[in-house]
Structure 1
C-alpha cells in the first residue's frame, strides 16, 4: 500500500512530501490513521542523523517519534509511540506494535497530547525512572533551561507531582517570568557572565532537571553544590538535553564534596517497559493537570517549506 509521508532522503536536508510503501499490519500490530504529530527537538535531531538512536542507519527516513491517531476501522483515539516503528509519525498512516498504543483519557485534547507527551516524557521519566520519585512526593526540583517547551512542561509536570519547590533557571526575560504562572516558586536568571549567577535559590533541591548541559550546567553545578548547606542531602542531577553543549568540565573535588549522582535520561537509560508502565499515568496527569503549551499547526504536504523555520511555537502537523 502506498501512502504519503515526509521523507528525509539525505541527512541534513529538509524532508520532502513523497510516497512510501506501507505493508499490511501483522497480527501484533495496529494500523493507525495519524491525526496529529509534534515536531520535537528529538524528531529534528533524528531527521538530521545526529541523534545516537540513528547510529548505523541511513536514509530514507520518515521523521516523527509519536503522535495521536485513530485505530483503523474504529473511532478509538489513541496516543502512540513510534520509536520502535520502522516508519515515523509524519505520515498519513503508520503500523505500530499493539504495546505502543494507548487510549486517550477522557477529556484529553488530541492536539495538546500530540505536542506535549514527548517534552513531558523527559521530565516524567527523569523524576520516576531515573531519580526514583513518585507522584505525590514532597520533592524540591530545579529546572535548567526552563524557558523552552520541554522546560516549561517540566515546571507543570513537577507541579503535578506535588513538588514543594520548583526553581526555574534560564535566560532573563518574559519566558522565564512566565514560569511563575506555570508553578515556579523561585526564578534564577542567568547572568551574562555565567559564573556571576546567584544559584542559592536552588541550594536545597533534591533533583535537577538539566536541559542545557555545557557551560550553563558547569556554572550551575558549581553554584548549587557550593551553596548547599547540607551536602550529605542526596542530589540527583539528571542530564536530559544538551542545547548548550555536549560536554562540561566537572571538578573532581565537587563530586567528592557532596552527595550528588549524575544521571542521564533517554531511551537506554530507561527501558521501554518502564516507559510504557508510566505512560497511562502520565497521560492522566497531562489531562488532570491541564498541562499546556503553545504550538503552530503545519501541513504535512508543505513540510519542505517550513521544516527549517526557526523560532516560534513548536510545530504540530495535522493530517
Structure 2
C-alpha cells in the first residue's frame, strides 16, 4: 500500500513529504498507525548520513527511530521502537517487529512518551545495562551536558532511579539552573576556560553520564580524578553523545591512578534483548516519575519547511 512519509533523498538534505510503498507486515511484524514521533539528535544524525547505524546504506531514507501509535486491529495504544525497522517513524504508518512494541502504562501522555523515550533510553540503559546499577541503590551520578533535552531527561531519570546525588555539569545560565527543579543536588557551571572549572562537586560520584565528550569531557575527567578522595572507588564513565567532539585526550597518568572504566552506550554496546527487557520499566518510570520536557508539535506534511530550524523545543511530528 502507498503511504505518505518524510523521505530523505540525499544524505544531509531535508526530508520531503512523499509517497512510499509499505508492504504488508511479515509474520514477525505488526502494522502501527503513527500518532507522534520525536525528532531526536539520533534521528537528525541518521538523516544526515553521519551515524554509524546508517554506514554503508544509501537513501532514500525515512527518518525516525521510535514513536507512539495505535495497532489498528486491536486499537491498542503503544510505544514502538523503529531502530530495526525498514522504514522510520516520520510516516503515516510503519511496520515494526512485534518485540519492538510496548503497551503504554496507565496514565501515560502519548505525546510526552513519543518525545522522551529516546533521550530517556540513553540514561536508563547507561545506568542499568552499561554501569550495572539497580534502581533504588542510591547511586551518585554526574551528568555532563545537562542543559540539553537528553541531559535534562537524565536528571529526571536519575531522580526516578533513586540517585542520592545528582551533579549537573553544563554551560552556566537558566537551563543549568533549571536542573535544580528537576532533581539536581549540585551544579557545576563550566568556566570560559574549561580547565578553570571547579569539578569538586562531582569528585565522588559513581557514574558519569557524558553527552558531550571532546574538550569538555577531557577537562571534566582531569578535574574529577584530581579531586577524588577515594581514587580506588569505582567510577563508570559512560559516553553517550559527542556534541563537543568525537575525541578527547586522556592522560595516561590520570587513568592509572584511579579505578575508572570508560564505557559506550548505544546499540552494539547493549543488545536489543537487553533493551526489550528494560523498556517496560523505563516507561513506568517516565510516567510515575512525572518526567517531562518541552516540545513543539510539527506537521509531517510540512517537514521540508521546518526540518532545518535550529533552537527551540524538540519537534514532535504528527502525521
Same fold (TM over 0.5): yes
How far 1:65 moved relative to its partner? 0.1
How far 1:74 moved relative to its partner? 2.5
User: Equivalent residue of 1:317, what SS?
Assistant: strand
User: Equivalent residue of 1:219, what SS?
Assistant: helix
How far 1:252 moved relative to its partner? 0.6
- Report Cα offsets for 1:130-168 as digits up to 9, x if no partner: 000011111000000000000000000000010000000
- Report Cα offsets for 1:14-48 as digits up to 9, x if no partner: 00000000001112111100000000000000000
Deviation beyond 4 Å, 4+ runs, structure 1: none
**What is the distance in 2 between the residues matched to 1:37 and 1:137?**
33
In structure 2, the gaps of 5 or more residues are none
- Report Cα offsets for 1:169-192 as digits up to 9, x if no partner: 000000000000000000000000
How far 1:10 moved relative to its partner? 0.2
**What is the distance in 1 between the residues matched to 2:188 and 2:26?**
51
How far 1:120 moved relative to its partner? 0.1
User: Equivalent residue of 1:315, what SS?
Assistant: strand
How far 1:97 moved relative to its partner? 0.8
How far 1:273 moved relative to its partner? 0.2
Alignment correspondent of 2:149:
149
In structure 1, the gaps of 5 or more residues are none
How far 1:73 moved relative to its partner? 2.5
**What is the distance in 1 between the residues matched to 2:312 and 2:141?**
27
- Report Cα offsets for 1:170-224 as digits up to 9, x if no partner: 0000000000000000000000000000000000100000000000000000000
**What is the distance in 2 between the residues matched to 1:122 and 1:205?**
19
**What is the distance in 1 between the residues matched to 2:230 and 2:28?**
52
**What number of residue pairs does the alignment pair up?**
319
User: Equivalent residue of 2:237, what SS?
Assistant: strand
1:57-206 to 2 correspondences below 5 Å = 57-206=57-206
**What is the distance in 2 between the residues matched to 1:226 and 1:244?**
22
Q: TM-score, normalised by structure 2?
A: 1.00
User: Equivalent residue of 1:263, what SS?
Assistant: strand
Q: TM-score, normalised by structure 1?
A: 1.00
Contact 1:30/1:72 (<8 A) preserved: no
How far 1:263 moved relative to its partner? 0.3
Contact 1:218/1:250 (<8 A) preserved: yes
- Report Cα offsets for 1:259-301 as digits up to 9, x if no partner: 0000000000000000000000000000000000000000000
